[in-house]
Amino acid sequence: MLEAIKAAADKNLRLYPDPEAASLCSAIANYYGLASEQVFVGNGSDEVLAFAFQAFFSPGKTIVFPDITYTFYPVYCQFYDIPYREIPLTEYFNLPVQEFCGDYAGVVLANPNAPTGKSVPVCKIRTVLEGNPNCVVLVDEAYVDFGGDSAVSLVDSYKNLLVVKTMSKSRSLAGLRVGYAMGDADLIAGLNCVKNSFNSYTVDRLALVGAEASLRDEAYYRAMLAKVSLVRNHTASRLKSMGFCVMESSANFIFISHKRAPARSLYQDLRDRGILVRYFNRPKIDNYLRVTIGTEEEMDTFCKTIQEVLEVNYHEV
């Protein structure tokens, strides 16, 4: 992948990139068994999401997403003046699937969800698609490769499904800024319309080349995914033995809470020792920490440090 980028860093950089990203679209289509017309490429999935909100949702028509989910969804709604309703997740952060079947004007689901890491099987996504036949159901699969169930298999059967993915997480390429959407050719045409209405040149030459090379390196990618899952599961069991409640995760992070040590102070205690985890000062999740899985060594340091904090500050053995 790095070799491919280095090789592409030549005098051709004086030329604009392909505005249609045709070669990368076709590589992605090949990878998932789709047609190129079913793929859209953007500068990270955040840009793809922004285009999708603008293309498929409209002012005056209420869309829905869970109350606990990726925090950019309400931001896009406010930016594009799209009314939204947050449907509460159940007590254990599960998706109340039936409540999402209301013939809404739009549905957005992160699967696996952030920051809980919980995922739903594709049959539940199918239920939501059938419960909303007249709007776009956007499934954000930023973390799906770490163990979720992808809805890409439904793209050919449901014209209202848009699956959004990113190379930032499972392909460790956040700096390259490549995200993509897969859906019916009409939806993809809609995204292209929005994009071309203000800047048709999106992804740059080096990112196009790097992303395509990453898709070719399946062995490395699989090995890295396996490693992350292994370290995640190992970290989860160590934390459980320290008295943590660890939510079942299909992502590259875990969502944890401790019965005696409040998340807010644990966050500060870890920070004082040079470890940064995510604390959300929000109702329902303010006693949880989201811990991203790093290398084996990093997670070992994390576990040892949190164990020490529990012993010193909370007299846990």
Residues that bind ligand PLP (CB under 6 A): 44-46, 70, 110, 114, 140, 142, 166, 168, 174, 179
Nearest residue to ligand PLP, scored by beta-carbon proximity? 44
Phi (first) and psi of residue 316, to 5 degrees: -90, 140
The minimum distance between CB 69 and ligand PLP, in angstroms, equals 8
Asked if 143 contacts 252 with a C-beta cutoff of 8 angstroms, the reply is yes
In the complex with ligand PLP, the residue whose CB is nearer, 17 or 44, is 44
In the complex with ligand PLP, the residue whose CB is nearer, 45 or 249, is 45
Determine the 3-state secondary structure of 14 from DSSP.
helix
Q: In Å, what is the CA distance from 122 to each residue of 42, 126, 130, 155, 264? A: 25, 6, 12, 12, 35
User: Could you tell me how many residues make up the chain?
Assistant: 317
In the complex with ligand PLP, the residue whose CB is nearer, 54 or 166, is 166
Asked if 14 contacts 174 with a C-beta cutoff of 8 angstroms, the reply is no
The minimum distance between CB 160 and ligand PLP, in angstroms, equals 20
In the complex with ligand PLP, the residue whose CB is nearer, 183 or 269, is 183
The minimum distance between CB 181 and ligand PLP, in angstroms, equals 11
Token code pair at residue 305: 């440090």
Residue (of 57, 110, 109, 116) closest to 92 by Cα position: 116
Helices (H), 197-262: 205-216, 218-241
Q: In Å, what is the CA distance from 65 to each residue of 74, 108, 113? A: 9, 5, 11
In the complex with ligand PLP, the residue whose CB is nearer, 72 or 104, is 72
The minimum distance between CB 120 and ligand PLP, in angstroms, equals 14
Q: How far apart are the first and last CA of the chain?
A: 46
The minimum distance between CB 112 and ligand PLP, in angstroms, equals 8
The minimum distance between CB 242 and ligand PLP, in angstroms, equals 27
Token code pair at residue 238: 């160590």
The minimum distance between CB 148 and ligand PLP, in angstroms, equals 11
Residue (of 232, 251, 46) closest to 143 by Cα position: 251
Residue (of 129, 141, 136) closest to 101 by Cα position: 129
In the complex with ligand PLP, the residue whose CB is nearer, 139 or 306, is 139
In the complex with ligand PLP, the residue whose CB is nearer, 195 or 238, is 195
